[in-house]
Amino acid sequence: MPTPLPRRRPAPSNPTAANVSWFKQSSKPCRPGGFVVGYALYGSAASHSSRWRQPMAEASKTNPQGVERLGYLGLGLMGTPMSRRLLNAGHQVTVWNRSEGKMAALVEAGARRAASPRDLMESSDIVFMCVTDAAAVEEVIFGPTSISTAPGAGKLVVDFSSIHPDAARDLATRLLAANGADWIDAPVSGGTKGAEEGTLAIMAGGKADDIDRVRPYVLAMARRFTHMGPTGAGQTTKLCNQVIVGCAMAVLAEATRLAVNAGIDANRLPEALAGGFADSIPLQLFVPRMVQGIHSPPLGHIATMLKDLDTVADVAQTTSTPVPMASLAGQLFRLAKAARGADADALEIYKLSAGGAQPSPAS
């Protein structure tokens, strides 16, 4: 008598149905295959086995207790809400900021206060950081009492800052030589709203094993975490993002001003265009803020967008890539910086086309 074949368990009719998430800004469902709520199926870069690894399952290479100790350096518009999400997820977090006052609320929420970047590195296995520019990154990595002055073998530095891809590669090489720490460049997109709600998109460059190691912690702060290639690839991807976002801000400011000057209610543009080819998260989020003059807290500073678009122009020149739209957007943000100030909300680009003179914040 032949041996019966083993019975297979029936597959569910729609295994992702219960996990489909929704973009709050646009009310559009995400593609079921894109990501699933929970760590197990986030991102396409992870291997099959690592997708199912629980966040705290692996022991740290440097911490025998088996729990990764996290550090966060730079508590600005993005760093503060991102650090808070790590704390709310139950992680052990040490924080440091150049101006000490910004640490108080997080320390009250359970974070440990570090005395310096070196102190933070010594008490952490994975260090996250988000600072203004490459000069600020250089200072906290290689300045006095910096990260590079502490032992770093087996440790990881994950840089959420937006800097030149060449700078990211240079910093990674020098840090590894200085103290043995590895580097992931992981710039973010989604603004302060995304940082608060944990819906950021983060694009990363680095080694695959390092990406897998930090993935569960990053996904406490972000909706998407995509490995784009070796060191520097995350920063290059962010530049592509900024071409799109910077041009979108400029174009949406233009369309909104046309609506206002033509006498229609620009507040209703997002409703009227929803579901059409012009619909997008920027349309739904930016236009109401432009029309109603909502700029506090800012979604991002003019100076930050201009810095990124200037980097786009530099990389485009190096790679012989024509970027006429991004170049024009960069000049518009340069005008906005002169008119509104470097720290003004980037959406104040809308005010450049106002009929009357717009007073600057300093006046």
Is 207 labeled as catalytic in the residue annotation? Answer: no
Neighbours of 139 (CB within 10 A): 14
Residue 152: CA count within 13 A, CB half-sphere: 26
The count of residues in the chain is 363
Of these residues, 238, 307, 337, 351, which one is catalytic?
238
Evaluate whether 235 touches 163 at the Cβ level (below 8 Å). yes
Q: Which two tokens stand for residue 195?
A: 């940082």
Q: If you count DSSP H runs as helices and E runs as strands, how many of each does the chain have, helices first?
A: 13, 9
Strand partners, 183: 157
CA distance linking residue 81 with residue 198, whole number of Å: 9
**Using CB atoms within 10 A of its CB, is residue 207 exposed (0-12), middle (13-18) or buried (19+)?**
middle
Neighbours of 101 (CB within 10 A): 8
CA distance linking residue 305 with residue 220, whole number of Å: 25
Evaluate whether 335 touches 265 at the Cβ level (below 8 Å). no
Q: Provide the annotated active-site residues.
A: 238
